[in-house]
Chain A
Amino acid sequence: MVVRFRQPDSIGDMTLKWTPAPSGYDEALEPSGLPRGLYDSVVSTLGNFDQGEVRRREDLQEVSLVNQGITFTVYGEEEGTERVFPFDFVPRIIGSDEWQLLEAGLIQRVTAINLFLEDVYGDQRCLREGIIPFDLVLSRSDFRRELIGTRPRHGIFTHITGVDLLRGESGEFLVLEDNCRSPSGVSYVLENRNLLSRVFPEIFAKYGVRPVDLYPQMLLEALKFAAPRGRERPSVAVLTPGLDNSAYFEHSFLAREMGVPLVEGRDLIVENDQLSMRTTRGRQRVDVLYRRVDDLFLDPVVFNSGSLLGVPGLIHAWRAGNVTIANAPGAGVADDKSIYPWMPDIVRFFLDEEPLLGQIHTWIGRRADDAAYIREHLAELVVKLTDGAGGYGMLVGPTSSKKEIAEFATVFDANPEKYIAQPLVEFSSHPTWTGDDFSPRRVDMRPYVLYGETVKVLPGGLTRVAMEEGSYVVNSSQGGGSKDTWVLAEELVR
């Protein structure tokens, strides 16, 4: 059903079309095509615009993003290609009641993840008691044997976690994956809000939207809390691989917003197990390093000896307790896609609670039965590399051609243990401006969870949207865009 909103005569007499999702859950529209309660005001406000006005504002939005340099670098294209992350101005809205449940589930999950990490690099109780297979954990590429016996300050491994969520067919949130290394995207959460409030201020009028711009302060507090013992005024720095990294804008953004230096490996030096940065006033100690560099490149002495991105001696300084690395090296084992199926058991084991958040059934390639099932059902499944990210190296069976499936089967057969598979979840859609009208596009969401003195969740998150009709791929590297995510303080304040 198509709903048409007639706009006031003073603006024009054109109408904008809103089409509900033909299948799956529609976040904003009822199957009848009427807006869900929370979306009434957004839909009616946008109904007051004609196409020309929306396009004008969209252009303004685009120019603003380009001029501000809010871009990411695309790999595999011409060197240094900067691209704007497409932004859709129709906000995604989450009510306060639902958010409270989600927040509790996220806090529970991140707490359990940290206890799990402390355990696998410590006593390994969960392995010895058979909660999760010993060899599974120890064989993960992100498990760092070198770090066994290391406990970071306060036992916190994941100071920042991004948890990717989908809404299932009945609208319930499900965890798709955890990001425990250096989850990116939060800069877009803040910039999207900033942009939307300037370009479409009218749509905020009837909502009490919880602010997201406290994030840099929350992050800095969490990082400072993790500083080495005895450092009363700890110095914090953000470590970036450099300008060519796809997320460089974000690294720079976070350093700027927190008011701390953005450093590269060449700016740092370890002497006597202490990390320092080279400044115009000589070497200055660094207490907390918020690294946006993968484990293997952090320290050429311990990991990849050819790395120029890290700092020789950094891991030793960290193990000596003289510097905090956030997130801690080795944390990536918790977000390995092979560990994911055990996450509910991990929550039960460490917290003695039932998981508050559901997740998606997963077949694991390293199990012979599962591998056989995956192989037989490639056309129905989404198959992913266990240590992959960004939508690379995956197969979306139901939308792939026979040729693509056959080619993927050959790759899969060579190393089935490197893959997991999940059913294709008909995840939720959200009205999205296509240039002509508002059509359903699939969305996911990544809330950000900070672990400092307490575990806190930013009230908002990165809603990624598949900009192509029918597409399930929301990754920015593959053409996805993003939306502002509103968490309401109250359902409607006016």
Chain B
Amino acid sequence: MSVMLSRSAENIYWMGRYLERGGNLCRMLLVAEQLTVEIRGLAPSRTTEFWEAFADVFPGSPRLQESLDVDAARMAGLHSWLLGTENEFSVASSIHSARENARVVREYLTREVFEQINECWLKLDASVRVEHDPDALLSQVQHAIYGIGGAIGRTFSRDEAFGFLDIGVMLERVYRVLQLLRHRLPLLMDTPSEIDIPVHHALLRSALRSVGSLENYRRSNGAGMTPHAVASFLLFDTSSTHSVAFGVASIERSLAEIERGGVLTDAARKLGRLSSQLRYEERDLLGRHDFAAVCGGLAGDIEDVHESLTRLYFTV
């Protein structure tokens, strides 16, 4: 198919975003489960806050009721973020939306990709009606999402549709990493007291694991872990698939493929600026007093890229 409908491009882009969102959430929930086991005895209030802080990473999502105890916060968090249909950002809502988008662009997808997405949704949909073990379900869904990624990687043509899919995936990823850094890292910037050190490290580890980057970080930086090093890695590392710099470069590449050397578009210009900033202003960005504002500003830039893409390609 040589032409791509604007509406289809938008559907594929959002399919990518929802798939990435569902996968990210599965991982974040599994990390939250493990962290709960690890630190609830040491720092119950930090554990509860961790569950409550999901809403920060997904602005606009419903917040948990405050002052819950650990078990109540965990149950409410799992209920809302795994299968919660009232939460448009939940795993179930994300995969449902990915599947609805996939249904309207089946002519651009391979049979394998559609089937993997459909099966993943059917698994979740069936779980709503039966009692389930949340951790087992999360693992199953996470594997199913990896299966979708595998089907995409192995069967999808590297054409315009793939470009929009990849942009959707990467834009969602970068945006959530920035939100996570913005809301979780500043709390860890202060030097911890002796007693807090295990909790502090557990939270830093969780931040890295939440974005699938713990092993990559260790390969790059060794076992030593400071908030500054974690922030630097997640923002500027150019080879780790979940860093902001990697994601922005990937979006730039996909967009260049789509634009095929045409006139420099607004989206490309914004991405170029962002890319330069990440490449040349590392020290300046990390040295600023208000790290949350830095991440907020970068997330705002990503929102602008989304708006530009929408104007440029999805509303012709």
Interface residues of A (CB under 8 A from B): 66-69, 235, 243, 248, 252-253, 255-256, 259-264, 266-267, 277-284
Contacts and interface: CB of A to CB of B under 8 A. Distances in A.
B5 A279 contact: yes
Contact of A252 (B106, B119, B122, B258): B106
B128 to A, nearest CB: 15
A280 B316 contact: yes
B254 to A, nearest CB: 13
B189 interface: no
A68 B1 contact: no
A252 B1 CA distance: 14
Contacts of B114: 68-69
Given A278-B316, A280-B160, A282-B316, A267 B7 contact: yes
A280 B6 contact: yes
A264 B118 contact: no
Given A67-B119, A68-B118, A279 B103 contact: no
Contacts of B1: 259-261
Interface in B86-134: 100, 103-104, 106-107, 111, 114-115, 118-119, 122
B258 A69 contact: no
B107 A255 contact: yes
A78 to B, nearest CB: 14
Interface string B288-316: 00000000000000000000000001001
A280 B260 CA distance: 12
A261 B5 contact: yes
**Do most interface residues of chain A lie in helix, strand or loop, or is the interface mixed?**
mixed
**Do most interface residues of chain B lie in helix, strand or loop, or is the interface mixed?**
helix
Interface in B1-27: 1, 3-9
A283 B107 contact: no
- For the complex of A and B, 7 pairs with smallest distance between CB atoms: A256-B107, A255-B107, A278-B316, A252-B106, A279-B3, A278-B6, A280-B313
B309 to A, nearest CB: 10
B107 A67 contact: no
Interface in B41-84: none
Given A280-B160, A280-B258, A264 B316 contact: no
Nearest to A248: B103
Nearest to B10: A280
Given A69-B114, A280-B160, A243 B104 contact: yes
Given A243-B100, A243-B103, A68 B8 contact: no
Contacts of A252: 103-104, 106-107
Nearest to A82: B103
B259 to A, nearest CB: 10
Nearest to B163: A280
Interface of B: 1, 3-9, 100, 103-104, 106-107, 111, 114-115, 118-119, 122, 160, 164, 258, 313, 316
A31 to B, nearest CB: 44
Contacts of B115: 67-69
A278 B118 contact: no
Given A243-B104, A252-B107, A235 B3 contact: yes
Contacts of B258: 280
A278 B7 contact: yes
Contacts of B316: 278-280, 282-283
A280 B9 contact: yes
Given A69-B118, A280-B258, A281-B3, 13 more contacts: A67-B115, A67-B122, A68-B111, A68-B118, A252-B106, A255-B107, A259-B107, A261-B3, A261-B4, A262-B107, A267-B6, A280-B313, A282-B316
A347 B119 CA distance: 50
A279 B316 CA distance: 7
B95 to A, nearest CB: 14
Nearest to A68: B115
6 contacts: A252-B103, A252-B106, A262-B8, A267-B5, A280-B4, A283-B316
A441 B313 CA distance: 52
A262 B4 CA distance: 10
A278 B103 contact: no
A266 B118 contact: no
A282 B6 CA distance: 9
A195 to B, nearest CB: 13
B262 to A, nearest CB: 9
Contacts of B103: 69, 243, 248, 252
Contacts of A66: 118, 122
A206 B5 CA distance: 46
B210 to A, nearest CB: 31
A277 B3 contact: yes
Contact of A256 (B106, B119, B164, B313): B106
A366 B111 CA distance: 50
A271 to B, nearest CB: 13
Contacts of B111: 68
B230 to A, nearest CB: 38
Residue among A69, A252, A256, A264 with most chain B CB within 10 A? A69
Contact of A279 (B4, B122, B164): B4
B188 to A, nearest CB: 42
Nearest to A283: B316
A67 B313 contact: no
A132 B122 CA distance: 54
Nearest to A66: B122
Residue among B1, B7, B9, B160 with most chain A CB within 10 A? B7
A492 B114 CA distance: 38
Contacts of B104: 243, 252, 262
Nearest to B316: A278
A337 to B, nearest CB: 34
Residue among B106, B114, B313 with most chain A CB within 10 A? B106
A403 B223 CA distance: 82
A261 B107 contact: yes
A259 B313 CA distance: 21
Contacts of B6: 267, 278-280
B121 to A, nearest CB: 9
A280 B108 CA distance: 14
Contacts of A263: 5
A161 to B, nearest CB: 24
Nearest to A257: B107
Nearest to A253: B106
Residue among B107, B164, B316 with most chain A CB within 10 A? B107
Contacts of A248: 103
B106 A266 contact: no
Nearest to A252: B106
